[in-house]
Protein backbone atom coordinates (compact mmCIF):
# COMPACT_ATOMS: atom_id res chain seq x y z
CA UNK A 1 0.00 0.00 0.00
CA UNK A 2 1.26 3.48 -0.89
CA UNK A 3 2.11 6.07 1.74
CA UNK A 4 -0.75 8.29 2.84
CA UNK A 5 0.01 11.97 2.28
CA UNK A 6 -1.80 14.82 4.02
CA UNK A 7 -3.15 17.49 1.67
CA UNK A 8 -3.38 21.05 2.96
CA UNK A 9 -5.85 23.36 1.22
CA UNK A 10 -4.42 26.65 -0.08
CA UNK A 11 -7.42 28.59 1.27
CA UNK A 12 -10.20 27.88 3.76
CA UNK A 13 -13.38 26.58 2.15
CA UNK A 14 -15.94 23.83 1.85
CA UNK A 15 -15.23 20.54 0.08
CA UNK A 16 -17.36 20.57 -3.10
CA UNK A 17 -16.16 17.29 -4.63
CA UNK A 18 -13.66 14.52 -3.98
CA UNK A 19 -12.07 13.19 -7.16
CA UNK A 20 -10.33 10.14 -5.67
CA UNK A 21 -11.71 7.25 -3.67
CA UNK A 22 -10.16 6.61 -0.25
CA UNK A 23 -6.91 4.72 -0.75
CA UNK A 24 -6.92 5.40 -4.51
CA UNK A 25 -3.71 6.18 -6.37
CA UNK A 26 -3.10 9.60 -7.93
CA UNK A 27 -0.40 10.91 -10.21
CA UNK A 28 1.34 14.24 -9.73
CA UNK A 29 -0.94 17.09 -10.72
CA UNK A 30 -4.16 15.00 -10.70
CA UNK A 31 -7.13 16.73 -9.04
CA UNK A 32 -7.76 15.32 -5.59
CA UNK A 33 -10.47 17.57 -4.16
CA UNK A 34 -12.41 20.66 -5.25
CA UNK A 35 -13.03 23.42 -2.71
CA UNK A 36 -15.66 26.14 -2.76
CA UNK A 37 -13.95 29.27 -1.47
CA UNK A 38 -14.32 33.00 -2.07
CA UNK A 39 -17.29 32.40 -4.44
CA UNK A 40 -15.18 30.19 -6.73
CA UNK A 41 -14.17 26.56 -6.95
CA UNK A 42 -10.51 25.66 -6.51
CA UNK A 43 -9.11 22.31 -7.57
CA UNK A 44 -6.48 21.03 -5.15
CA UNK A 45 -4.05 18.81 -7.08
CA UNK A 46 -1.79 16.11 -5.74
CA UNK A 47 1.48 17.64 -4.57
CA UNK A 48 3.53 14.54 -5.39
CA UNK A 49 5.32 16.21 -8.30
CA UNK A 50 6.38 19.42 -9.99
CA UNK A 51 3.02 20.01 -11.72
CA UNK A 52 1.02 20.55 -8.54
CA UNK A 53 0.92 24.31 -9.09
CA UNK A 54 -1.84 26.73 -8.12
CA UNK A 55 -2.94 30.06 -9.55
CA UNK A 56 -4.93 31.38 -6.61
CA UNK A 57 -2.80 34.54 -6.31
CA UNK A 58 -3.96 35.95 -9.65
CA UNK A 59 -7.64 36.90 -9.03
CA UNK A 60 -6.84 39.72 -6.56
CA UNK A 61 -4.73 41.57 -9.16
CA UNK A 62 -7.47 41.82 -11.81
CA UNK A 63 -9.57 44.66 -10.30
CA UNK A 64 -6.57 46.99 -9.98
CA UNK A 65 -5.67 46.73 -13.65
CA UNK A 66 -9.32 47.19 -14.66
CA UNK A 67 -9.52 50.32 -12.51
CA UNK A 68 -6.45 51.80 -14.20
CA UNK A 69 -7.86 50.94 -17.65
CA UNK A 70 -11.17 52.60 -16.76
CA UNK A 71 -9.39 55.71 -15.45
CA UNK A 72 -7.43 56.01 -18.71
CA UNK A 73 -10.63 55.58 -20.75
CA UNK A 74 -12.47 58.19 -18.65
CA UNK A 75 -9.62 60.70 -18.96
CA UNK A 76 -8.81 60.24 -22.65
CA UNK A 77 -11.80 58.61 -24.31
CA UNK A 78 -9.53 55.80 -25.50
CA UNK A 79 -9.92 52.22 -24.24
CA UNK A 80 -6.61 50.34 -23.95
CA UNK A 81 -7.27 46.59 -24.03
CA UNK A 82 -3.79 45.14 -23.53
CA UNK A 83 -1.41 45.67 -20.63
CA UNK A 84 1.10 47.11 -20.01
CA UNK A 85 -0.37 50.55 -20.60
CA UNK A 86 2.71 52.26 -22.02
CA UNK A 87 2.98 55.85 -23.28
CA UNK A 88 3.59 54.43 -26.76
CA UNK A 89 0.37 52.36 -26.64
CA UNK A 90 -1.54 55.41 -25.44
CA UNK A 91 -0.16 57.57 -28.25
CA UNK A 92 -1.06 54.92 -30.88
CA UNK A 93 -4.59 54.61 -29.51
CA UNK A 94 -5.04 58.39 -29.48
CA UNK A 95 -3.86 58.67 -33.11
CA UNK A 96 -6.12 55.78 -34.21
CA UNK A 97 -9.35 57.00 -32.62
CA UNK A 98 -12.02 58.65 -34.71
CA UNK A 99 -11.97 62.44 -34.60
CA UNK A 100 -14.48 63.99 -32.24
CA UNK A 101 -17.46 65.67 -33.88
CA UNK A 102 -17.09 69.41 -34.34
CA UNK A 103 -18.86 71.58 -31.78
CA UNK A 104 -20.90 74.45 -33.09
Residues 63 and 88 in one domain: yes
Q: Is residue 22 part of a domain?
A: yes
Q: Which residues are catalytic?
A: 58
Range of the domain at 78: 59-96
Residues 66 and 38 in one domain: no
Confidence of residue 24 (pLDDT cuts 50, 70, 90): confident
Distance CA 38, CA 13 (A): 8
Q: Is residue 33 part of a domain?
A: yes
Q: Is residue 4 part of a domain?
A: no
pTM: 0.40
Is the pLDDT assigned to residue 5 strictly greater than 80? Answer: no
Residues 63 and 92 in one domain: yes
Q: Is residue 68 part of a domain?
A: yes
Q: Is residue 72 part of a domain?
A: yes
* Number of domains into which the chain is organized: 2
Amino acid sequence: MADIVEIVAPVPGLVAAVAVAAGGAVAAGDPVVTLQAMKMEIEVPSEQGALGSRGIGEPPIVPGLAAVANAIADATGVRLTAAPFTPEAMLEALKARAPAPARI
